[in-house]
A and B are shown apart, each in its own frame.
Chain A
Amino acid sequence: MGYPHKSHPRETPILSKHFGEPEARTLDGWKARGGYKALQQALHMEPTAITEIVKASGLRGRGGAGFPTGLKWSFMKLGDGKPHYLCCNADESEPGTFKDREIMRWTPHALIEGCAIAAHAIGAETAYIYIRGEFTEPIRVMEAALAEARAAGIIGKNAMGSGKRVDVWVHKGAGAYICGEETALMNSLEGKRGNPRIKPPFPAVSGLFGMPTTINNVETLAAVPHILNNGAEWYKAMCLSNPKSTGSKLYSVCGNVAKPGNYEVVMGFSFKEFLYDLCGGPLPGRKFKAIIPGGSSVPTMNMEEAEATLMDYEGFVAQGTMLGSGGVIIFDDAQSLPRQMARLARFYAHESCAQCTQCREGTAWMTKILERIVAGQGTYEDLDTIFDLSEMMTGKTICVLSDSCGAPVVSAIQKFRPEFEALIKGKRSSTVAVGAR
């Protein structure tokens, strides 16, 4: 549902069905809503059988990369005599994204159930839910739900009487966007600085504490119980466009839009209808200008591209951007894009872990140059410098934070160059209406 407002009839609320219902947070309330049936069933299944179902469902990672979940699980070598770990990535920090927060706030048991099923499927006895430190309320809700689940024997030494051990713990982060990168998350969990690691080795070979590890996003894991309950075919059938993208997806919508919030739609939904019908279109008297559709790390779209998009992994790529985390940031005609891009660059410069030169220096210079342009002190060469810089920052570092800084900025300059040039000419852009919404 489009929390915080009522569900739109064209939404397909599966993950978000119980958002806003306080009773769904309790164990009894969750069981009354069909909770833990999937786990009960899963604990008596062969791990590989669970993985096969998830593979067949077509579920792909909802954190940003869209990697097939079942395939990821199948990389875990069962019976290798090593402890395996599951990490749930709840470090949701991608600007524009606030879906995992709502899943944890309203349906904590859905996540616990998904974690327990996944842990069993990959041969792990321990799962850690790494939640960003700022999310104190989701942490409280998750801790309370975990305590209830533990006391009821749903997780622990003998999960649901199956004889199998599944421990699930919350681990609180301490403020670092980069810890949402999977190897940085593992370092952070180990009590280290959150620097991303060089891959290979990949986590399935050597991950948390050097052991085979799988990392999945909150939304991905929360979808797993539904898949076991209703079957792979049911999930696969939720597809309006490309068969490689299946299921429902939660989108966080923010920025200059009539009804910001979370919306859950089936893969392949029309972005145009999504924006103007479900999200209520622009604010009165305004027009949409540009959209960053997948959290701030993906290329900026103009409205022509956006309105032609079908909302799935391939659909966004076809329009030159990415689905990413599903954090839809909308800028309207009252916003200055150069100013917004300068602010985004500052975000990446602040969040760079500073390991790689291209990122440490690149994000800082990108910010400097953009802020100079916004201050009316830019030159035409500055725009070329940004393009060169972005090229040097892309595909050359340990993780993709550096690439993520260039992607929205470069595409914004390419598609909205006159706005940047107007500032360089010394004329204040007519669209610099600061702070208006």
Chain B
Amino acid sequence: MSHGPSAPGTAAGAHAHGHDAPYEPVFTPGSARSKELAELITRYPDKRAALLPALWMVQNDRGWISEAAMMEVGDQLGCTAAYVKGVVTFYTMYHQHPVGKHFIQVCTTSPCLCAGADKVVEAFLEKTGCKELGLTSPDGKYTVIEVECLGACGFATPVQINEDYVENVTPEKVPEILAGLE
């Protein structure tokens, strides 16, 4: 439920590839990912049901989901790249552009807004050097976005950084959180 990045980033994190780098397939025959996908398909009567999990594997390994990746996933699951794109664009968590090494999502929906989430957003933008929401910092380290309800409203303001939630975040805690990310 994020407001996905609105503009291409320039990040090249450990596992990410940029717009210009060639796409390296994820599900090459005999690879661990290929076996993982084959096992996953057995859980469903229709292999297309493995589409969301397959996209997660791509994003995990390549950092984002490029058009070439959509083609690869489509080939694996018997659907067209256009179909895959339709699905990718529906869900906000799939990155359609490279993002910073640390993808920071600040919840600002009403319960968090009560707790001053807007100030937390400002603090992250300022301290990371990201010029605006959705843009990646010049050093490629950070992308900050606002996210819709993270489902941790009693721990306002929750911030999701890559996989993990950080709870009860206030603007004052932002520098310390960023320092812990290196």
Contacts and interface: CB of A to CB of B under 8 A. Distances in A.
Given A98-B154, A174-B52, A343-B108, A209 B46 contact: yes
Contacts of B50: 191
Interface in B21-76: 43-46, 48-53, 55-56
Contact of B114 (A252, A335, A351): A335
- Output the residue of B49, B51, B117, B119 with the most chain A CB within 10 A: B49
A118 interface: no
B164 A133 contact: no
A254 B111 contact: yes
Contact of A171 (B52, B87, B105): B52
A437 to B, nearest CB: 5
Contacts of A172: 52-53, 56
Contact of B1 (A83, A93, A252): A93
A347 B90 contact: no
B153 A174 contact: no
Contacts of A176: 1, 90-92
A275 B36 CA distance: 49
Contacts of A171: 52-53
Contacts of A173: 52, 91
A94 B149 contact: yes
Contacts of A83: 45
B92 to A, nearest CB: 4
B154 A174 contact: no
A42 to B, nearest CB: 23
Interface in A171-230: 171-177, 188-194, 209
Contact of A260 (B87, B119, B154): B154
Given A172-B53, A191-B49, A435-B119, A97 B153 contact: yes
B3 interface: yes
B174 to A, nearest CB: 14
A347 B149 contact: yes
Contacts of B55: 174
A75 interface: no
Contact of A177 (B94, B105, B115, B148): B148
B160 interface: yes
A329 B154 CA distance: 9
A96 B111 contact: yes
Interface residues of A, number: 61
Contacts of A327: 153
Interface residues of B, number: 50
B109 A252 contact: no
Contacts, number: 165
B11 interface: no
A326 B171 CA distance: 29
B165 A174 contact: no
Nearest to A137: B165
A16 interface: no
Nearest to B152: A98
B154 A253 contact: yes
Nearest to A437: B115
Interface in A316-367: 327, 329-331, 335, 339-340, 343-344, 347, 350-351, 353
A256 interface: yes
B6 interface: no
Interface string A279-307: 00000000000000000100000000000
B75 to A, nearest CB: 14
B80 to A, nearest CB: 13
Interface string B83-111: 00011001111100000000001001111
Given A101-B152, A177-B148, A192 B53 contact: no
B176 interface: no
A340 B113 CA distance: 8
Most buried by A among B48, B77, B149, B150: B149
A171 B44 CA distance: 11
Contacts of A126: 43
30 contacts: A83-B45, A93-B1, A93-B151, A95-B109, A95-B149, A98-B152, A101-B151, A132-B151, A134-B1, A134-B105, A134-B147, A137-B164, A137-B165, A167-B43, A172-B56, A175-B91, A188-B52, A190-B48, A191-B50, A191-B52, A254-B114, A254-B154, A255-B110, A255-B114, A260-B155, A343-B113, A344-B110, A347-B148, A435-B116, A436-B116
Q: Which 9 A-B pairs have CB atoms at the shortest separation, nearest pair first?
A: A191-B51, A175-B93, A174-B91, A435-B116, A254-B153, A175-B92, A260-B154, A191-B48, A193-B90
Interface of A: 4, 83, 92-98, 100-101, 126, 132-137, 167, 169, 171-177, 188-194, 209, 252-256, 260-262, 296, 327, 329-331, 335, 339-340, 343-344, 347, 350-351, 353, 434-437
Given A94-B149, A132-B1, A171-B53, 12 more contacts: A95-B111, A175-B1, A175-B91, A177-B149, A194-B90, A209-B46, A262-B154, A343-B109, A343-B113, A351-B1, A435-B117, A437-B114
Interface of B: 1-3, 43-46, 48-53, 55-56, 77, 79, 86-87, 90-94, 105, 108-111, 113-119, 147-156, 160, 163-165
